[in-house]
């Protein structure tokens, strides 16, 4: 951050200096001809970019939590923090609301928050974990759940497997048994 610190006017807030440095790094990356590098460099760059993406998401969620706690949305005339964030970032309001919900759920110094800030998990992973944490039995903390193996860090959140049907509808795997069960029940009634 030293180059921008030297050029920035005195009194520039640290978050603005840091985001300017991030943009400078991205500008540097956009000039790279990635095709000129081998598989090892490309793999390392991809992994590090994904890690940086998770770390940036952690920062974004900290900003959202601070804005929510200090009720910044009211100063902008927004009804809530999700609406405020959607307005400022041109984000879908449902997406912004989910981000605010995750920001509220991320407890400082919790394993999930630490992993997200370190870039070890994505915001989607953190969302899955915080949602699962809310469903833990009373008295079982997130740390206990991790140590007992009740919660595990996911490699990737798996979408619910789906199968297209003849009518163009999509059935979730858990729904597959329902039509089959109905047919079996009909056959059993006809056999009696």
Q: What is the mean pLDDT of residues 35-56?
A: 96
Q: Are 48 and 32 in contact (CB under 8 A)?
A: no
- pLDDT value at residue 152: 56
Among 9, 57, 52, 62, smallest CA distance to 28 is for 52
- pLDDT value at residue 132: 87
pLDDT in tens, 75-105: 999 999 999 999 999 999 999 999 999 999 9
Share of the chain above pLDDT 70, in %: 71
Confidence class of residue 174 from pLDDT cuts 50, 70 and 90? very low
Q: Tell me the average pLDDT of the chain.
A: 81
Residue 108: is its pLDDT beyond 50? yes
- pLDDT value at residue 98: 96
For the chain, the straight-line distance linking the first and the last C-alpha, in angstroms and rounded, comes to 80
pTM, whole model, 2 decimals?
Answer: 0.69
Residue 178: is its pLDDT beyond 90? no
Among 139, 134, 122, 138, smallest CA distance to 55 is for 122
Q: Count how many Cα atoms sit within 13 Å of the Cα of residue 38 in the half-sphere of its side chain.
A: 1
DSSP code of 139? T
Among 96, 99, 134, 127, smallest CA distance to 113 is for 127
pLDDT in tens, 141-157: 767 766 776 555 444 44
Confidence class of residue 7 from pLDDT cuts 50, 70 and 90? low
């Amino acid at each position: 951050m030293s180059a921008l610190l030297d050029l920035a006017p005195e009194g520039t807030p640290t978050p603005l200096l840091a985001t300017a440095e991030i943009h400078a790094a991205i500008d540097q990356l956009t000039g790279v001809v990635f095709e000129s590098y081998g598989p090892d460099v490309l793999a390392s760059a991809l992994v590090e970019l994904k890690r940086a993406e998770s770390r940036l998401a952690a920062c974004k969620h900290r900003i959202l939590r601070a804005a929510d706690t200090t009720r910044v949305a009211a100063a902008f005339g927004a009804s809530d923090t999700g609406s405020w964030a959607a307005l400022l970032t041109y984000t879908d309001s449902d997406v912004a609301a989910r981000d605010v919900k995750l920001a509220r759920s991320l407890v400082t110094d919790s394993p999930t928050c630490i992993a997200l800030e370190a870039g070890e998990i994505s915001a989607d992973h953190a969302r899955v974990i915080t949602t699962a944490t809310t469903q833990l039995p009373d008295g079982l903390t997130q740390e206990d759940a991790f140590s007992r193996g009740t919660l595990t860090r996911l490699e990737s959140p798996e979408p619910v497997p789906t199968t297209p049907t003849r009518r163009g509808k999509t059935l979730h795997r858990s729904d597959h048994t329902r039509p089959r069960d109905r047919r079996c029940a009909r056959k059993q009634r006809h056999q009696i």
